[in-house]
Amino acid sequence: MPAPGEPAPDFRLPADDGRTVSLKDLRGKKVVLYFYPKDDTPGCTREACAFRDNLARVTSKGALVFGVSRDNLASHAKFKDKYHLNFPLLADVDGIVTSAYGVWKEKTLYGRTSMGIERTTFLIDEKGRIAKVWPKVKVDGHADEVLAAL
């Protein structure tokens, strides 16, 4: 997992709005890149809706928000439409970016072990470096933590 001060791994991922998002193209802006396990599940929905509800505050501080999961674009489109999300969702279907950011981990739920995305948020500065990392995010209050760091 990249640490504060290190360069953020570059990526090019398709977004639900039809464009391809490249971190390199976002230089000069702060980026909130949050990785979440699955579209339309309880925790992921609360997290996405918190970023939706606070997007104006985030953008007023010069930052952009992107959600990333391994769901496909069709799943992202349904999720975005259902909850009126107002920021892009990026599809990392093959897991290259989740691996590069070190968030593809072994997880245990109800005694069963599986691989999945560990809910993690990265704040990337205008020069493309990691400014802050929130590993193992607790959803409630997280958007406020991110706002405080901006």
Q: Which residues are catalytic?
A: 44
What is d(CA 126, CA 29) in angstroms, rounded to the nearest whole number?
5
| Bridge partner residues of 91 (DSSP) | 69
Interacting residues of 44 by C-beta distance below 8 A, sequence separation 6+: 36, 37, 38, 69, 119
Q: Are 76 and 16 in contact (CB under 8 A)?
A: yes
Question: Quick one: how far is CA 115 from the chain centroid?
Answer: 18
| Bridge partner residues of 12 (DSSP) | 22
